[in-house]
Structure 1
Amino acid sequence: MDVPWTLVTDLQSTRPTALTSRVPAVDPARLVAELVPPPHFATASFESYVPDPVHPSQAAAVQRLRDAAQAVGRGAGSSWLRRRRTQPEAVYLDGGFGVGKTHLLAALAHAVTAAGHRAAFGTFVEYTNLVGALGFRQTVDALAAHRLVCIDEFELDDPGDTVLMSRLLRELADHGVALAATSNTLPGSLGEGRFAADDFLREIQALAARFDVLRIDGDDYRHRSVEHGEALDDDAVRAALAGRAGATLDDFGALLDHLATVHPSKYGALLDGVTLVGLTGVHGVRKQDVALRLVVLVDRLYDRDVPVLLGGGGTDGLFSEEMRRGGYRKKYYRALSRLGALASEGAALAAATAASTTDAPTTSAPTTSAPPAVGA
């Protein structure tokens, strides 16, 4: 039986593509324009943050950031020279996973933007990648046009990048740009006091006195573990992707190889239009450079709320125990937490697809060879 050409075209359009087939070209201007709170925090506000009364530091942080937003707004009308002569706002949010630091940082950026001023928002890695793509001086010039620069997930595990970021922030502060940053305290270090804050202030010595450190206590509001060992069968991954517009399907090993050919600053563009990612043959990653590229991809997936279907071994043993004890441990714990959340969403979609297939009524074969009318 001949299938109408329009039906064939429609079926092909919903067939999963592969991330490995994408080689994004990104204009440098886009990298700067995309420094805004990601879709996951597009509606974050001070009002939508619900402080836990058991931990007063959460409510205190909200009020302090409200004050910071107002202070940034008041300074916007002053001259560039006057702003250089006054110390701009600089706050640092210290706390464990899931206490709402990124939510509050995004809320601060939204508040400043709503008041008519420019605010940049990006992760530590996105800013270091920006310097790599534009050059240091061009990055300073681009960010100096903003009233506020927010750095999420400030990372202290790479001395070179930390020094680079310290210099960048120092120059921005000298231009009168307000600064805000977050970083994570590891789950096992929550009882050690200002673990991340002490590291942060030590590593950015030239800026330490400018930052007001806000400790945010509390439990992970998501109440989830960073370990998610459950995985789907590879065939189940493929079945769940069938007919889904915007879905991609890749062999995990092939994708890791492909990431090595794409600059990390372009990983966001790699996901343009993607609504669901399927990965088959997921296995443990043992090379540090490969693992760190995967961490960046997971961050971009999480920013964009893209569910993931994990075949093979799933997140079980994805990063070795040695990696999770090493210098990049915070990155790996964050990636496991975020990938686990996205995989849970993906697994729910797969279960719904399997249920709908099982419950679908059986229809008898047509008695005529004439194809059905498309669109009927």
Structure 2
Amino acid sequence: MSPSQPSSSQSSPIAGPPADGAGAAPAALTSRAPHVPADRLVAEMVPPPRFQSARFETYIPDPDQPSQAAAVEVLSGFAAGIGGGTETGGGKRRWFGRSAKKAAAPSGPRGVYLDGGYGVGKTHLLASLWHATPAEPALKAFGTFVELTNLVGALGFQQTVQTLSGHRLLCIDEFELDDPGDTVLVSSLLSRLVEAGVALAATSNTLPGKLGEGRFAAADFLREIQGLSAHFRPLRIDGEDYRHRGLPEAPPPFDDASVSRAAHRTPGASLDDFPSLLDHLSKVHPSRYGAMCDGITAVCLTDVQAVPDQSTALRLVVLADRLYDREVPVVAAGKPFDALFSEDMLKGGYRKKYFRAISRLTALARDAKPLVEG
């Protein structure tokens, strides 16, 4: 399906091309507020570009962490046991509704839950599971927790249940519960899908029974999460962040002039003032951040500063995830990425999200270094 994409011909609010005149004026993310139709949200529930080639065979377990190799073995067996029917009577695919022969309620956990710190390869393993499951793509769904809640918002609860009940497998990446409403919503959705015989797989940085700790309304979280945890077999994956394992440190931030030059000489790059971009994110629903990056080959940011509040920080986390999924390098001037979030934020209930964002933005900054030095 062709994505709905707004015009990106508007100039960046930052000063025009440098004196050497290389390249046309870059795009500006702040000029983009795309509309994303519901059918695109469904069609895009596949592993993102970064993980399209992910397979169990390409996952490289850390030899010092036996839990990583063990996870590959368990997940390979889980994929083989899901099965792969693709049609109902008359040769038509089951896009909506339950199968004609409803699966019996499972006697044990119907899913696997990959628990581990950021950067141990959980998303790679989740995408590998999606690829290894013997069912055609139309009967498998892959998305982040945020994308799943956005789908419910676009389709409505009942239509989402009908749509996903026809699937063999639902993979949920970055399973995080940020408010009681989402907790109840996802708990109800997954319960209905388990009844329909859908296999579940999820990743997170926390065990299912611990997701609500350190967050607001912890009693409400834990009450709902305890019911969810029964659907999953927790699978611990230990290890250090592979994005920094044996690699050089991310380059320090550049100056504004260097970032502007890189933007003007990189076809398809965007150029934005960081505070203006943060303000723009507050006006675009997070479900549209991926579409906002359509066609962008590099994100160039000037005047990077510490984020001012938690709401802004959480929106930035979503943008960082979408950029990382799409392998979009980030060239930045100002504060280094490890100074984006305050000490209080890094000690609070959302700290795992913030550390993940720092890790991913650091990796993207490393990818962007040749754009400035080339």
Q: Which moved more, 1:279-288 or 1:310-319?
A: 310-319
Corresponding residue of 1:62:
72
Corresponding residue of 1:106:
127
- Residue 170 of structure 1 aligns to a residue whose secondary structure is helix
Corresponding residue of 2:324:
302
Cα distance in 2, alignment partners of residues 273 and 131 from structure 1: 27
Cα distance in 2, alignment partners of residues 327 and 200 from structure 1: 10
Task: Answer whether contact 1:75 1:83 (CA < 8 A) is retained.
Answer: no
Task: Answer whether contact 1:298 1:338 (CA < 8 A) is retained.
Answer: yes
Q: Which residue among 225, 229, 247 is the counterpart of 1:208?
A: 229
Corresponding residue of 2:354:
332
Corresponding residue of 1:183:
204
Q: Does 1:272 align with 2:263?
A: no
Counterpart code for 2:226 = Q
Q: C-alpha deviations, 1:329-371, integer Å up to 9, x for none? A: 111111111111111222232122xxxxxxxxxxxxxxxxxxx
Task: Answer whether contact 1:38 1:304 (CA < 8 A) is retained.
Answer: yes
Corresponding residue of 1:132:
153
What is the deviation of 1:263?
Answer: 1.1
What is the deviation of 1:174?
Answer: 1.3
Corresponding residue of 1:31:
41
Higher alpha-carbon Rg: 1
Q: Which runs of 5+ in 1 are unaligned?
A: 1-10, 186-195, 353-376
What is the deviation of 1:13?
Answer: 8.0
Cα distance in 2, alignment partners of residues 327 and 284 from structure 1: 18
What is the deviation of 1:288?
Answer: 1.4
- Computed over aligned residues only, the root mean square deviation of the Cα atoms, in angstroms, reads 2.5
What are the residue-to-residue correspondences of 1:1-376 with 2, within 5 Å?
A: 14-73=24-83, 79-86=99-106, 89-112=110-133, 118-185=139-206, 196-200=207-211, 202=222, 203-223=224-244, 230-352=252-374
What is the deviation of 1:287?
Answer: 1.4
Give the TM-score normalised by the residue count of structure 1.
0.81
Cα distance in 2, alignment partners of residues 19 and 344 from structure 1: 21
Task: Answer whether contact 1:36 1:120 (CA < 8 A) is retained.
Answer: yes
- Residue 180 of structure 1 aligns to a residue whose secondary structure is strand
Cα distance in 1, alignment partners of residues 59 and 338 from structure 2: 32
Q: Which runs of 5+ in 2 are unaligned?
A: 1-20, 89-98, 213-221
Task: Answer whether contact 1:150 1:179 (CA < 8 A) is retained.
Answer: yes
Cα distance in 1, alignment partners of residues 48 and 119 from structure 2: 17
Residues 1:80 and 1:212: Cα distance change in structure 2 (over 3 Å) = farther
What is the deviation of 1:140?
Answer: 1.8
Equivalenced residue count is 331
